[in-house]
Every structure is written in C-alpha cells, then in structure tokens.
Amino acid sequence: DTGVSQNPRHKITKRGQNVTFRCDPISEHNRLYWYRQTLGQGPEFLTYFQNEAQLEKSRLLSDRFSAERPKGSFSTLEIQRTEQGDSAMYLCASSLGIMGDSEKLFFGSGTQLSVL
Amino acid sequence: EDQVTQSPEALRLQEGESSSLNCSYTVSGLRGLFWYRQDPGKGPEFLFTLYSAGEEKEKERLKATLTKKESFLHITAPKPEDSATYLCAVQASLSGGYNKLIFGAGTRLAVHP
C-alpha cells in the first residue's frame, strides 16, 4: 500500500491553457473523491466516483472542469481554458467503500496549480 | 446551510503548554465529525471520527470530544512535531450515502521549544 498518488505535484500554466491532473487511489479502494483547497481554507468537495461512475458533481465544478475514472482505477481531472481563479491545491482522496459511508478518506499530497 | 467554523485561526504554544481547539458546526443531521491533520504541502491525514454527543477518542497527546453543537481537540503537553494545521469536517446525513465532507478553515498550530 503506497497511499494515494497524485501527479504532477506542481503545475504552472498560462491563463487559457488546458491542464490535466492524475490520481492513483489505493488499489482496493472503489470510492474516489476530488477536493479543491485554497490558501487558508479547508478543502471543498468537487466530485465523487463509485468505481467508474461519477455520482455527484459540486456546483463549484463548472463546465470547464471534467473528471473521469475509466475502469474504476485511476482518475483524471481536466480544466479547460484555465482562469486565475482556478489556482489552488487539487486534492484526491479514496476510501474502501464497504464500511458504510462514514469511513475515513485517505488523501494524496495534491497538485498545486498556479495560473499566471 | 451546513457550516463548520473553527477557532482560533492560529495558535502559538510553548512546548508542554496544553490547550484546546474548537470546531462548531451546524448540519442537517450529523452522520460523523472528522479531525484531520495537515502538514505544509501535504494532504490531510486522518486523526479521529466521532459519531455521537459524549463520544471521546484519544491518540497520543490528542483527545477529541463531541457535543451536539461543537467538538474540541485537546492537546496535552504538545511537542514541536505537533505543529500543523488541524482541520475539522462534518458529514451530513443528506450527503448521499458517501463521505462528502464539509471542512472548516482549520487552526494553524505552532509549538515552540
């Protein structure tokens, strides 16, 4: 068990460019979450996958954001036409999904996005 | 609207000086309250889950308690390695059967030797 892995750790891009982040959850975990965290704030929920199905998207996730989890394994989060307001830490978390809904989440170290 | 408020925003302690962090919440049916620790540049690390008023959990120098409106994280005789941001989060009963957490902004704790 190597934990939740996120790549890249840091991404600097120019406004208007597209970026894609990858998350590899703990291998036996079937639940996967994306959160966003800005400086001095707690993480905010973005979206949730149960295996390959995306079951909820927050209203924070505008139509420029898309997330996928093909085959219920790794997940990608793409942001199109980035804006300066997209600058944040993007956190991925996973959980086992068989212990009830109040199980703990395991977070990755995040991808820090800076939009210039 | 479900909401979590943590206080203080920042706390500076001398090594060995015990204190408490507060997390007050309003939620439509509490399914669970979580405490996480976050180090700079890292993701949150799970500490405790509390489910009902009166419940307490301990881990080393940390003890978490829960009432109907708030939770406390008590830190006894802290050490410099306890320096981190401590995040509180709640899961509401209407969260859809999965763990969509609502986080507070956190308390930044600095413990000086």
A25 inside 8 A of chain B by CB: no
Residue A71 sits at φ, ψ, to 5 deg, of 60, 15
The 10s digit of each residue's pLDDT in B68-109 is 999 999 999 999 999 999 999 998 766 666 678 899 999 999
Degrees, nearest 5: CA angle A6-A97-A24: 15
Tokens of A21: 């982040």
| Closest CB to A42 among B49, B99, B104 | B104
Model pLDDT, residue B95: 60
B36: chain A residues, CB-CB within 8 Å? 107
Single-letter residue type at A78: E
Tokens of A2: 């190597």
- Cα–Cα distance measured from residue B89 to residue A105, given in angstroms and rounded to the nearest whole number: 11
Model pLDDT, residue A14: 97
Neighbour count for residue A60 (Cβ, 10 Å): 12
The 10s digit of each residue's pLDDT in B64-75 is 999 999 999 999
Residue A84 sits at φ, ψ, to 5 deg, of -60, -30
Residue A83 sits at φ, ψ, to 5 deg, of -120, 160
Q: To the nearest whole percent, how much of chain B has pLDDT over 70?
A: 95
B45: chain A residues, CB-CB within 8 Å? 107
Contact B30, B90 (CB under 8 A): yes
Q: Is pLDDT above 60 for A101?
A: no
The 10s digit of each residue's pLDDT in B10-41 is 999 999 999 999 999 998 888 889 999 999 99
Q: Is pLDDT above 80 for A8?
A: yes
For all residues of chain B together, what is the average pLDDT? 93
Count Cβ atoms within 10 A of the Cβ of residue B75 and give its class: 0-12 exposed, 13-18 middle, 19 or more buried.
buried
Single-letter residue type at B49: T
